[in-house]
Amino acid sequence: MDKKNVALITGVTGQDGSYLAEFLLDKGYEVHGTIRRSSVDFRERIAHIEGKPNFHLHYADLGDSMSIMQVMSKVRPTEVYNLAAQSHVQVSFDSPEFTCDVDATGVLRILEAIRLCGLTKTCRMYQASTSELYGKVEEVPQNENTPFHPYSPYAVAKQYGFWIVKEYREAYDMFCCSGILFNHESERRGETFVTRKITLAAARIKQGKQEKLFLGNLGSLRDWGYAKDYVECMWLILQHKTPEDFVIATGVQHSVREFCYYAFKHVGIELEFVGEGLDEKGIDKATGKVLIEVSPDFFRPTDVVNLWGDPTKAKAELGWDPNKTSFEQLVKIMVDSDMAKVAAEDAGQRVRTNLAEYLEKGIVK
Ligand code: NAP
Ligand code: F7E
């Protein structure tokens, strides 16, 4: 490397932040991440890299300009990856104002901190944008020219983030861009997102630790990729010769129902779906036992049901391979990991991860 590369990752404790930190450390970057104070220390995803000489953590909150200014002026990064967000769509209906503050105004705070610290010419900025911007879709599949139609408080906030990044790019000639990422999952995915909820339940049901799985809209369609592959693309977007926005997706679409089918199949349970709407059930073909039921608790006031990305531009201009990990491989990686985690569960761990029980009972969505 010619000059020292210094990356600042907001949201380093999240799924993507943890993979990106690993990726950049491997590339020889000095990596700084922001964390939030919480009453319990929960930094599981980055525990294995904490203590590495090139990895540093700082307290900052996207709702607090002063904390962002402090870390920006101290670190003076050459690349900022703004991954921090209230990232759960359903939660955004319960906490719309918080979601707006962090996911919309938070982006402005990052851009202003770069500008006020005099870093506009030396620092590139990546914004974690989302396929949720397409929302109530106006075109299938979706590419960089597809009109936006955000369909949740989360998506509306992220749309502000997208446009303010574009505005700063044009107004101040800053190298700042958005990756419009479609759903990407992994063994580190939060347990309340649908894929992880399914892989955990498949593992727990197989091992006799859970009776049933309750889900919402089984017909919802998503373009699911592997998070580890997607963080490479975030980096490629910032290495591009010009600041541009890119759709990151696999170009392959599956339903929630299909995700269930493959996850349970991987633990040796063949599912058959019978019935419709709220009466639909996923039945173990071998035993006739009902393993999946639909619950109205998991339906959203407005739901995005047909996401399917077209990654042609990222493939052509960044040389990125959208199909490094297939859908079947992704499901396998997640199920294998959860089978091992559930098998290792002891009473102590159960206290902390009783989230699985809450999910099962619909206490947490
Ligand atoms: P995630 O696992 O939920 O991680 C979110 C991160 O943001 C966590 O580190 C969290 O910290 C942090 N955070 C939340 N509120 C914050 C605040 N007020 N100040 C500072 N940090 C805060 O999300 P992810 O799946 O890695 O996604 C990363 C980014 O990509 C998010 O912006 C998300 O909206 C976006 N995105 C994700 C997907 C996807 O499919 N995964 C697709 C498109 C876009 P704590 O650990 O302290 O909670
Ligand atoms: O829902 C349906 C649900 O919560 C996917 C975030 O990373 O990706 C993610 O947002 C679909 C929806 O992810 C349940 O209604 C059915 O149609 O896993 P999810 P999401 O809403 O797509 C985008 C790109 C982001 O940007 C976000 O940050 O699955 N669904 N039953 C369910 N969803 C959940 N969570 N739980 C269920 O029981």
252-268: pLDDT as tens digits? 999 999 999 999 999 99
Please pick, among 126, 134, 154, 168, the residue that the annotation labels catalytic.
154
CB 259 within 8 A of CB 198: yes
Return all residues near 240 (Cβ < 8 A) that are at least 6 apart: 177, 317, 318
| pLDDT of 359 | 56
Give the residue, by CA position, lying nearest to ligand 1 atom 5: 14
The whole-angstrom separation of Cα 184 and Cα 1 is 30
Q: Please indicate whether residue 132 is annotated as part of the active site.
A: yes
The model's confidence at residue 362, banded by pLDDT at 50, 70 and 90, is low
The whole-angstrom separation of Cα 13 and Cα 274 is 40
Cis geometry, peptide bond prior to residue 243 (ω within 30 degrees of 0):
no
If you average pLDDT over residues 209-236, what whole number do you get? 98
| 287 DSSP 8-state letter | T
**Quick one: which of 356, 222, 214, 331 has its CA closest to 281?**
214
The model's confidence at residue 41, banded by pLDDT at 50, 70 and 90, is confident
Neighbour-count burial for 308-346, b at 16+ CB within 10 Å, e otherwise: bbbbebbeeebebebeebebeebbbbbbebbbebbeeee
The whole-angstrom separation of Cα 273 and Cα 285 is 9
Q: Please indicate whether residue 154 is annotated as part of the active site.
A: yes
Whether residue 349 is predicted with pLDDT greater than 80 in this model: the reply is no
If you average pLDDT over residues 198-204, what whole number do you get? 98
If you average pLDDT over residues 7-29, what whole number do you get? 98
Whether residue 100 is predicted with pLDDT greater than 80 in this model: the reply is yes
The model's confidence at residue 197, banded by pLDDT at 50, 70 and 90, is very high
The letter for the amino acid at 34 is: T
Q: How far is the CA of 134 from the centre of ligand 2 (A)?
A: 14
The token pair at 17 is 């932040």
Whether residue 346 is predicted with pLDDT greater than 80 in this model: the reply is no
| pLDDT of 360 | 58
Tokens 């990044």 sit at which residue?
A: 165
Determine whether 70 is exposed, middle or buried from the number of CB atoms within 10 Å of its CB (0-12, 13-18, 19+).
middle
Using most ligand atoms within 8 A of CB, pick from 23, 83, 129, 234 the residue to mutate for ligand 1: 83
| pLDDT of 2 | 44
Q: Please indicate whether residue 242 is annotated as part of the active site.
A: no
| pLDDT of 115 | 98
| pLDDT of 357 | 56
Beta-strand ranges (E) seen in 104-144 are 124-130
The letter for the amino acid at 295 is: S
Whether residue 12 is predicted with pLDDT greater than 50 in this model: the reply is yes
Number of other CB atoms surrounding residue 289 within 10 Å: 13
The whole-angstrom separation of Cα 333 and Cα 172 is 43
The token pair at 338 is 């959860």
Per the prediction, the chain carries an average pLDDT of: 95
Terminal alpha carbon distance of the chain: 45
Q: How far is the CA of 122 from the centre of ligand 2 (A)?
A: 37
Ligand 2 binding pocket, CB closer than 6 Å: 87, 89-90, 130-132, 182-183, 192-194, 197, 215-217, 220, 222, 256, 298, 300, 303-305
Whether residue 1 is predicted with pLDDT greater than 70 in this model: the reply is no
Share of the chain above pLDDT 90, in %: 92
| pLDDT of 42 | 79
Whether residue 354 is predicted with pLDDT greater than 90 in this model: the reply is no
| pLDDT of 230 | 98
pTM (2 d.p.):
0.96
| Cα Rg of the chain (Å, integer) | 20
Return all residues near 157 (Cβ < 8 A) that are at least 6 apart: 92, 99, 100, 102, 103, 104
